[in-house]
Amino acid sequence: MFSRKEIIDILNDDSKNDWLFSYADKIRKENVGNDVHLRGLIEFSNICKNSCKYCGLRKENTTIERYRIEKDEILEIAKNAVTMGYRTIVLQSGEDAFYSTDKMIEIIKGIKEFDVALTLSIGERSFEDYKAFRQAGADRYLIRIETTDRKLYEKMHPDMDFDNRIRCLEDLKKLGYEVGTGCLVGLPNQTIESLADDILFFKEIEADMVGIGPFIPHPQTPLKDKDKGSFTLALKVMALTRIMLPDINIPATTAMETLNPNGRIIALQSGANVVMPNVTSTQYRAKYEIYPNKICINDKPEKCRGCIGAKIESIGRKVATNYGFSHNKE
Ligand code: 5AD
Ligand code: FES
């Protein structure tokens, strides 16, 4: 465990990176073992009411073609993922009110018929919605805090409220979800100190999962001319998160692979133990452009499953066959 000052010093000093990454790898192995959990990601709607400055799905972006996948097709996609061996399905979308409480409940119940763990990643909703989704069978929820720097948060999310984001995380915890959060690394004007605070925040709220990715500027957003985040800094924040929260689930994020062709494997060897391959049908993939140059946009679900399985085995790790709940509880 490190103090805030130690975390800041490590983030500022690149001379000990090799030590940091292998230490995080060791902590990962001791606490969550060699299994890598695969989560099949379904990007079911790219429609969003929000205006996050960094995100390509923001409502002001009129250049992307918007889509919604409805229940029956979502269930087909999920079933195919289950056939490929996935034991967790992640449903992700923009904040799209089309998916009412009742619609979501039907989709959740349908997916739970397949005997899989179910994660939702559909943004800010009311306590009542979260409760209804949990009762319908949802097991986990992902909602990144994005940054704990309140001023920066407000700049990045003009129509959102930091306190409501925290409220969501608290509600989800209360309702017994496994809660995933995380942050972006390399947002304009983000400080090293605030990244240290992000890590301490993950610990304070006892996150079950933490996803960390570099910021990648999208040409159709107000941040198009800003520098991209650093792959190495994102990896360092991830490695420190593993050291500070030894038994949680940490994904090797797709954004890391976008900046480095071997990014996910490097992440798996620096603290990560989860990968979230895309299982959405190929026709939708290019349209879910949160950031440019996303990987696998022309690939089929089967290709990604085979590709990532082979990569995981090539480094002497194993694809897990259980549901992959956090803290080793099965
Ligand atoms: N670069 C990197 N990650 C991004 N996200 C959104 N936009 C970008 C971007 N331009 C991340 C956010 C969100 C997750 C689904 O995608 O952190 O929580
Ligand atoms: Fe999609 Fe490798 S994970 S092709």
> Considering only CA atoms, which residue is closest to atom 4 of ligand 2?
304
Both tokens of residue 47? 């429609």
Ligand 2 midpoint to CA 258 (Å): 11
Q: Is the CB of 4 under 6 A from ligand 2?
A: no
Q: Is the CB of 276 under 6 A from ligand 2?
A: no
Q: Is the CB of 308 under 6 A from ligand 2?
A: yes
pLDDT at res. 323: 87
> Considering only CA atoms, which residue is closest to atom 3 of ligand 2?
304
pLDDT at res. 327: 62
Q: Which CATH architecture has domain 4-319?
A: Alpha-Beta Barrel (3.20)
Ligand nearest to the CA of 228: 1
Both tokens of residue 143? 């909602």
pTM check: above 0.85: yes
Per-residue confidence in pLDDT tens, the chain, 330 aa: 899 999 999 999 999 999 999 999 999 999 999 999 999 999 999 999 999 999 999 999 999 999 999 999 999 999 999 999 999 999 999 999 999 999 999 999 999 999 999 999 999 999 999 999 999 999 999 999 999 999 999 999 999 999 999 999 999 999 999 999 999 999 999 999 999 999 999 999 999 999 999 999 999 999 999 999 999 999 999 999 999 999 999 999 999 999 999 999 999 999 999 999 999 999 999 999 999 999 999 999 999 999 999 999 999 999 999 988 886 454
Spatial contact of 39 and 45, defined as CB atoms under 8 Å apart: no
Ligand 2 midpoint to CA 315 (Å): 16
Q: Is the CB of 184 under 6 A from ligand 1?
A: yes
Q: Is the CB of 288 under 6 A from ligand 1?
A: no
Sheet holding 318-319, edge to edge: 274-275, 35-38, 318-319
* Sequence ranges of the domains in the chain: 4-319
